[in-house]
């Protein structure tokens, strides 16, 4: 159901949350801030397009874990496709890497957890409306790590040869230089030479660093 905005300067917020009690509580908190007007409340993706054409929200506050076949990330896809001007904030109990990554890739600009204090939710929505990308500190740190890892070159992109990959795999299995040499029918000095080249290509200084980088 769409609500009429009483004052044009208020930030128009749409809520998508399948928990009715939480949805009503959110509306009350946001309305009482004096800076936000909740213009739409939905419990699924199904009515987004006709609802938003009437409500004309500035910001959408979207729960990820919706009941049914469609998730909050599906809602983000719909909003971003039909209403690209609407800024999207994920509001969820989930803090796992894939959901964070998928939400941002789908078009979300902010990500806060449901244990965020009410006043911080209001400030985050204002920041989002003004062009920021608010996230709780934990989510911000995880997002940086996720994208850092996503951008990390793979062993193939580092330019490792087949033999170097083989030796690196042996190292990750805890094999010694002698065991690697015997297994691959090469000398220990050749193993050391290959490992030196691996370190240079991966830009590391130890076996532990090389193994960790390979597993990213």
In angstroms, the CA 68 to CA 18 distance is 10
Nearest partner of 165 among 203, 194, 193, 196, judged by Cα? 194
With respect to residue 103, please indicate whether it lies within any of the assigned structural domains. Answer: yes
> Is the same domain home to 112 and 169?
no
Residue 5 lies in a domain: no
Please indicate, yes or no, if residue 172 is contained in any of the structural domains: yes
Say whether both 91 and 144 belong to one domain: yes
- Does 143 map to a domain? yes
- 185 and 141 part of one domain: no
Q: What are phi and psi of 199, to 5 degrees?
A: -60, -45
Q: Tell me whether residue 156 is in a domain.
A: no
Virtual CA dihedral for 47, 95, 37, 119, nearest 10 degrees?
170
- What is the mean predicted confidence (pLDDT) over 5-12? 67
- pLDDT tens per residue across span 109-149: 888 888 889 999 999 999 999 999 888 777 777 776 766 66
CA distance 23 to 43: 9
Looking at the fold, whether 94 and 185 belong to one and the same domain comes out as no
Domain of residue 205, CATH code: 1.10.10.10
Each residue's pLDDT tens digit, 79-88: 999 999 999 9
Q: Report how many domains make up the chain.
A: 2
- Closest by CA to 63, choosing from 103, 31, 35, is 103
pLDDT of residue 75: 93
Q: Which of 120, 150, 180 is the last residue of a domain?
A: 150
One domain for residues 44 and 109? yes
Residue 1: CA atoms inside 13 Å, Cβ hemisphere, count?
Answer: 4
Helical segments of 2-42, H only: 20-32
Least confident of 30-34, 126-130, 201-205: 201-205
Please give the residue range of the domain that contains residue 30: 11-150
Q: Give the pLDDT score at 4.
A: 41
CATH number for 138:
3.40.50.2300
Give the residue from 135, 141, 129 showing the smallest Cα distance to 116. 135
Residue 102 sits in the same domain as residue 132 = yes
pTM beyond 0.75: the answer is: no
- My answer on whether 102 and 16 are in the same domain is yes
């Amino acid at each position: 159901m769409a609500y009429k905005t009483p004052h044009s300067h208020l930030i128009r917020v749409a809520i998508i949350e399948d928990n009715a009690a939480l949805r009503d509580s959110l509306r009350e908190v946001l309305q009482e801030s004096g800076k936000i007007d909740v213009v739409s409340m939905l419990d699924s993706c199904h009515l987004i397009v006709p609802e938003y054409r009437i409500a004309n929200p500035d910001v959408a506050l979207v729960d990820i874990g919706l009941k049914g076949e469609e998730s909050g990330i599906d809602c983000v896809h719909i909003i971003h496709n039909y209403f690209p001007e609407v800024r999207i904030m994920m509001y969820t109990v989930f803090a796992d890497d894939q959901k964070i990554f998928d939400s941002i890739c789908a078009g979300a600009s902010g990500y806060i957890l449901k244990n965020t204090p009410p006043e911080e939710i209001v400030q985050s929505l204002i920041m989002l409306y003004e062009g920021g990308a608010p996230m709780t500190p934990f989510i911000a740190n995880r997002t940086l790590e996720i994208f850092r890892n996503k951008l990390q070159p793979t062993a193939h992109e580092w330019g490792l040869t087949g033999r170097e990959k083989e030796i690196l795999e042996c190292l990750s299995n805890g094999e010694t230089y002698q065991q690697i040499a015997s297994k691959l029918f090469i000398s220990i000095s050749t193993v050391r030479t290959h490992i030196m080249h691996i370190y240079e290509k991966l830009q590391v200084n130890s076996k532990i660093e090389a193994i960790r980088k390979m597993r990213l």
